[in-house]
């Protein structure tokens, strides 16, 4: 008998194309404000996404592409300030209506809520971004996301399983009663490391990644239903 009790959603790329349309744009606006010549086009940003976490991604880019800048006075503090400013731009992009939930997502959320499942968000993004995405993009479901695990909650970000282990602890559920919904291989690995199966909804940046160990892989939420997820669980 199927024991599914909770659906745990990744945020960036899964609920919406926040990486391409949100964080990337917000980073570029920040670089311009800080007078830096750095620009992250879609191709470069896709490569940089191998590094999870906005602060970690910024530090990695500076180390790799502008090490001289990194040696200037206060560079570390400026990285922290840039990340904070990036998140403000991200919130403004959400408020401006420039980012949309992925097609078919709300239908699945409605089915899950109707079936009494717990809804959770398990992400490596910052708390402010997680709350802003849920408030702005899913106002009818904000209260339903009773579990929220974010970047500040963990010492190690995806693909480390810490975020999913924390989610299981907070839910007091065994991995077999939980399904992750992710868009990236890093997310799939994080879930698997905690013993949690994952459904993959491919996003623009990770279309060609290896998802062969996922319970189910689709291109959009409108190809998914709660019963399809329950059937896919092994």
187 neighbors 167 (Cβ within 8 angstroms):
no
Instruction: List the end-to-end C-alpha distance of the chain, in Å, as a whole number.
Output: 11
Output the furthest CA–CA distance in the chain (Å, rounded).
Answer: 61
In the residue annotation, 153 being an active-site residue is answered as: no
Per the residue annotation, which of 12, 68, 98, 210 is the catalytic one? 12
**Residue 12 binds Mg ion (CB under 5 A):** yes
Sole binder of ligand XBP in the list 30, 126, 165, 197 (CB under 6 A): 126
Catalytic status, residue 10? yes
- By beta-carbon proximity to ligand XBP, the closer residue of 10 and 162 is 10
Residue 158 is a binding residue for ligand XBP (CB under 6 A): yes
Give the distance from CA 179 to its chain's centroid: 15
164's CB contacts (< 8 A; 6+ apart) are 8, 122, 180, 190, 191, 193, 194, 196
Q: By CB under 5 A, tell whether 183 contacts Mg ion.
A: yes
187 near ligand XBP (CB under 6 A): yes
Nearest to 178, CA basis, from 123, 119, 223: 119
Residue 12 contacts ligand XBP per CB under 6 A: yes
Q: Using CB under 6 A as the criterion, what x/- string covers residues 54-83 for binding ligand XBP?
A: x-----------------------------
Which of 13, 141, 181, 229 is in the footprint of ligand XBP by CB under 6 A?
13
Q: Is 13 a residue that touches Mg ion (CB under 5 A)?
A: yes
Q: What is the DSSP string of 60-110?
A: HHHHHH-HHHHTSTTHHHHHHHHHHHHHHHHHHHHHTT---BPTTHHHHHH
Q: From the CB of 211, what's the least distance to Mg ion, in Å?
A: 13
Query: Which residues lie near ligand XBP (CB under 6 A)?
Result: 10-13, 19, 23, 52-54, 123-126, 129, 151, 158, 184, 186-187
- Catalytic amino acids? 10, 12
């Amino acid at each position: 008998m199927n024991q599914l009790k909770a659906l745990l959603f990744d945020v960036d790329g899964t609920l919406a194309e926040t990486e391409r349309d949100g964080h990337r744009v917000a980073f570029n606006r920040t670089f311009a404000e800080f007078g830096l010549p750095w620009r992250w086009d879609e191709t470069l940003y896709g490569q940089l996404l191998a590094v999870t976490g906005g602060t970690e991604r910024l530090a990695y880019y500076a180390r790799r592409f502008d090490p001289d800048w990194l040696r200037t006075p206060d560079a570390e503090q400026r990285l922290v300030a840039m990340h904070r400013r990036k998140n403000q731009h991200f919130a403004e992009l959400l408020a401006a209506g420039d980012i949309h939930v992925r097609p078919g997502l709300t239908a699945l959320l409605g089915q899950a809520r109707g079936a009494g499942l717990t809804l959770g968000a398990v992400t490596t993004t910052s708390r402010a971004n997680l709350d802003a995405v849920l408030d702005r993009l899913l106002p009818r479901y904000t209260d339903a996301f009773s579990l929220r695990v974010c970047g500040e909650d963990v010492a190690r970000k995806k693909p480390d399983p810490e975020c999913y282990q924390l989610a299981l602890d907070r839910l007091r559920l065994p991995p077999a009663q939980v399904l992750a919904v992710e868009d990236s291989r890093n997310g799939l690995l994080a879930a698997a490391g905690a013993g949690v199966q994952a459904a993959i909804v491919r996003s623009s940046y990770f279309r060609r990644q290896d998802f062969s160990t996922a319970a189910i892989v689709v291109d959009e939420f409108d190809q998914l239903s709660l019963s399809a997820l329950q059937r896919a669980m092994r």
